[in-house]
A and B are shown apart, each in its own frame.
Chain A
């Protein structure tokens, strides 16, 4: 059974810091891995998607890496800003399906 874990559960940092959020999964038979952002009381916004054959993806200040063999992904946020405050969720897609398995999220607070 695929299990997805995110560490840390919560993080509070001053503005300007570079951050690393971690996601680990138990079954490497995945099609891809997605990182999402969720603002309080809102839906999810897709940030980055990494196919199983890829090592990393970048979008602006965000960089996500994937090491499928070790069951790990990291989301790197450069030069954090207060507007980055949100919960960040990772999700893996099982092979041969379109079902996503979600982690429990990392709640990020960036203070000025």
Chain B
């Protein structure tokens, strides 16, 4: 089955600890994204990557880091510098290259999410 897999489903972080959230896609999409969702709020963009070995900061990148060494994988590290990490984290992917000059839909497809809590 094609899709986006996020793991783990639940994650607990101790104070001062870095934790890494996994996101893997087998949709052959070029672009991948990380969002944070807090209760009663919409999704906010943390980081995104349009191509392997390149990524851009989103609106709330402080305290987070990413890498894009493979097309299929876009892991997110929540560092100890992120003082309020408790949230629901969502990974998405899209066929960015279909966007330019066409009416292609370029829909973003989402994983099931990882809920991060602080111990």
Contacts and interface: CB of A to CB of B under 8 A. Distances in A.
Residue of B35, B40, B110 with most partner-chain A CB within 10 A: B110
A105 B42 contact: yes
B42 A45 contact: no
Nearest to B115: A41
A98 B107 contact: no
Interface string B24-63: 0000000100010000111111001010000000100000
A98 B42 contact: no
Interface residues of A, number: 25
A90 to B, nearest CB: 9
B: contact size bracket: 20 to 34
Interface stretch (B68-76, B79-87, B98-106): B98-106
B103 A51 contact: yes
Main secondary structure of the interface of A (DSSP, over half): strand
Contacts of A45: 110
A84 to B, nearest CB: 19
Given A44-B90, A49-B105, A51-B103, A102 B113 contact: no
Contact of A46 (B41, B90, B108): B108
B102 to A, nearest CB: 10
Given A49-B107, A98-B106, A43 B113 contact: yes
Nearest to A97: B99
Contacts of B96: 98
Interface string A79-112: 0000000000101010000111011110000000
B94 A34 contact: no
Contacts of B108: 34, 46, 100
A46 B42 contact: no
25 contacts: A32-B105, A32-B106, A34-B107, A41-B88, A41-B115, A42-B112, A42-B113, A43-B4, A43-B90, A43-B112, A43-B113, A44-B43, A49-B105, A53-B103, A98-B31, A98-B50, A98-B94, A98-B106, A99-B45, A99-B58, A100-B43, A100-B108, A102-B35, A102-B42, A102-B44
Interface of A: 4, 9, 31-32, 34, 36, 41-46, 49, 51, 53, 89, 91, 93, 98-100, 102-105
